[in-house]
């Protein structure tokens, strides 16, 4: 027990040190900004003094000359005005995620003159980020995303204070980070972190602007706005109110797997910045907040946008209702397990070692580039979707998308001794030569990362393609990602 207390004390001290270091970094930036402002003000004072000697009245303005020039076009918009600009300058906004959503959101908020911008992200810049994460540059590949983003933002606008948080958000430190900010933007891409962000924002009384994007579609919602204590029905709904249960873990598709069009995620990030400007300039207390709504964007639909009205707080919500069971203490202690709640575990292994083969083992067994149609020794089924198969594929492999396989409820014909029409029971997506009773050549299934291929093998065996174990049906372990590492280093990486 004593050891547990000491460990808790150490963890608490580390968190306090991290928070203090973050605050110190922010204060240093604020000092630098203040010193610049003082120098400019001194110059203005000298001019004003000279004017006073000539009988001209001294004039004091709330913004610097550069700020009037920089923000003038937005200050003349009636919905913002000078008071709205001053609110932006004094606001502290935290952006969780410096990727496809966070980059455009940060870019426009910095440009608009938000006084303090914090960025949370533990990832580094990769080449695959550059088509949509517009703050990063090719020269910054390998850098922390927050450092790469701040490097750009400081060139865009030197007036705000930029605070990097170079780590993935976790329940133990989330509250200490959030306390220093007025408004939170959720620019992440996984359910577990979204629930953590929402819970922390609600418990600390911070409005939250959440967005997501995948392929050609996106969603946007302003949560906990107006921010009210748990049990206050006048408060805005939280993420748990909108999504009481997380989606099944195996149904969650990331941008890496499902793909994303840059302008789509950029649109959602810009909309987050727009909502942030509205929330800040109209008042963080949400007195003038309208009814909660979810905005849905679809780049290939007409109309492009749809809006769905949301209900108010759920009366039995575990965070924002009178029956709340999630507290700051449960976050800090780790008893609120977001990965468990979302059903997230390590990639599941569905096949036995005997049902799997590595790319290197496969190449040793079959030195030729691929099975030829003239001298066929085996079959390779690539279960990626056609759009990925068209990017690159193993010669003579057969493309049967995993979505097609999973939608099939058919089975192969059974040998009952009765005359039947086999073609009536064969799934239409399976080539006839593969299901022919005379065909005993091995079947290897490959996908991008080695996950869908396992599911496909299980399904093919359920259909009876393995002849009750007399025929090998297995997958290439690790998929084409491992193929690049073990067999062909020139294989396109996408």
Task: Write 431-435 long-range contacts (CB < 8 A, 24+).
Answer: 431/398, 434/379, 434/465, 435/465
Q: Are 443 and 471 in contact (CB under 8 A)?
A: yes
* Whole-angstrom distance, CA of residue 441 vs CA of residue 471: 7
CA distance readout (Å), 490 to 55, 384, 493, 494: 77, 19, 8, 12
Strand 398-399 and strand 379-382: pairing? parallel
* Whole-angstrom distance, CA of residue 318 vs CA of residue 127: 40
Sheet-wide strand order for 398-399: 356-357, 473-476, 443-446, 379-382, 398-399
Catalytic residue among 187, 255, 342, 392: 255
The conformation of residue 184, written as its DSSP 8-state character, comes to E
**Residue 190 is encoded by which pair of tokens?**
């996984």
Q: Are 429 and 456 in contact (CB under 8 A)?
A: no
| 103 annotated as belonging to a binding site for a ligand | no
* Whole-angstrom distance, CA of residue 145 vs CA of residue 329: 30
| 317 annotated as belonging to a binding site for a ligand | yes
Q: Are 98 and 121 in contact (CB under 8 A)?
A: yes
| 129 annotated as belonging to a binding site for a ligand | yes
| 320 annotated as belonging to a binding site for a ligand | yes
Annotated catalytic residue 447 = yes
- Report residue 230 CA to chain centroid gap: 27
Helix (H) or strand (E) holding 15: helix 2-53
| 342 annotated as belonging to a binding site for a ligand | no
| 364 annotated as belonging to a binding site for a ligand | no
| 121 annotated as belonging to a binding site for a ligand | yes
Catalytic residue among 103, 187, 342, 447: 447
The residue count of the chain comes to: 494
Q: CA nearest 363: which of 349, 380, 375?
A: 380
* Whole-angstrom distance, CA of residue 40 vs CA of residue 125: 36
Annotated catalytic residue 103 = no
| 128 annotated as belonging to a binding site for a ligand | yes
| 182 annotated as belonging to a binding site for a ligand | no
| 52 annotated as belonging to a binding site for a ligand | no
Q: Binding site for Zn(2+): residue ranges? A: 238, 241, 317, 320
Q: Binding site for ATP: residue ranges? A: 100, 121, 128-132, 145, 189-190
Q: Binding site: residue ranges? A: 100, 121, 128-132, 145, 189-190, 238, 241, 317, 320
Instruction: Give catalytic residues, as residue numbers.
Output: 255, 447
């Amino acid at each position: 027990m004593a050891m547990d207390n000491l460990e808790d004390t150490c963890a608490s001290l580390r968190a306090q040190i991290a928070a203090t270091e973050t605050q110190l970094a922010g204060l240093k930036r604020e000092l630098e900004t203040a010193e610049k402002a003082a120098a400019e003000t001194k110059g203005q004072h000298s001019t004003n003094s000279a004017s006073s000697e000539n009988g001209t009245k001294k004039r004091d303005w709330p913004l610097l000359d550069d700020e009037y020039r920089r923000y003038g076009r937005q200050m003349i918009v009636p919905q913002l005005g000078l008071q709205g600009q001053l609110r932006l300058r004094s606001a502290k906004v935290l952006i969780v995620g410096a990727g496809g959503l966070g980059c455009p959101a940060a870019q426009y908020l910095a440009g608009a003159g938000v006084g303090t911008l914090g960025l949370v992200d533990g990832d580094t810049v990769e080449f695959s980020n550059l088509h949509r994460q517009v703050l990063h540059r090719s020269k910054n590949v390998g850098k922390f995303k927050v450092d790469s983003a701040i490097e750009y933002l400081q060139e865009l606008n030197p007036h705000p204070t930029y605070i990097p948080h170079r780590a993935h958000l976790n329940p133990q430190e989330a509250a200490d980070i959030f306390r220093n900010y007025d408004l939170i933007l959720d620019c992440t891409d996984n359910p577990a972190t979204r629930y953590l962000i929402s819970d922390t924002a609600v418990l600390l009384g911070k409005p939250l602007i959440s967005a997501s994007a995948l392929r050609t579609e996106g969603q946007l919602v302003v949560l906990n706005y107006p921010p009210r204590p748990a049990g206050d029905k006048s408060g805005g709904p939280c993420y748990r109110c909108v999504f009481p249960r997380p989606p099944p873990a195996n149904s969650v598709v990331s941008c890496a797997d499902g793909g994303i069009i840059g302008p789509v995620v950029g649109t959602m990030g810009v909309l987050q910045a727009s909502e942030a400007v509205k929330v800040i300039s109209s008042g963080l207390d949400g007195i003038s907040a309208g009814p909660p709504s979810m905005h849905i964007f679809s780049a290939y639909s007409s109309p492009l946008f749809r809006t769905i009205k949301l209900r108010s707080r759920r009366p039995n919500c575990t965070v924002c209702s009178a029956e709340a069971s999630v507290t700051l203490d449960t976050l800090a202690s780790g008893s609120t397990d977001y990965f468990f709640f979302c059903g997230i575990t390590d990639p599941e292994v569905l096949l036995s070692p005997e049902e799997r083969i590595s790319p290197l083992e496969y190449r040793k067994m079959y030195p030729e580039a691929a099975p030829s149609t003239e001298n066929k020794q085996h079959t390779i089924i690539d279960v990626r979707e056609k759009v990925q198969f068209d990017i690159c594929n193993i010669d003579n492999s057969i493309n049967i998308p995993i979505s097609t396989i999973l939608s099939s409820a058919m089975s192969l014909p059974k040998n009952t001794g009765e005359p039947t029409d086999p073609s009536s029971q064969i799934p239409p997506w399976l080539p006839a030569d593969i299901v022919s009773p005379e065909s005993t050549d091995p079947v290897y299934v490959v996908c991008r990362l080695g996950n869908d291929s396992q599911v496909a093998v299980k399904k093919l065996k359920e259909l009876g393609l393995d002849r009750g174990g007399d025929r090998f049906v297995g997958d290439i372990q690790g998929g084409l990602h491992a193929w690049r590492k073990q067999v062909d280093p020139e294989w396109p990486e996408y």
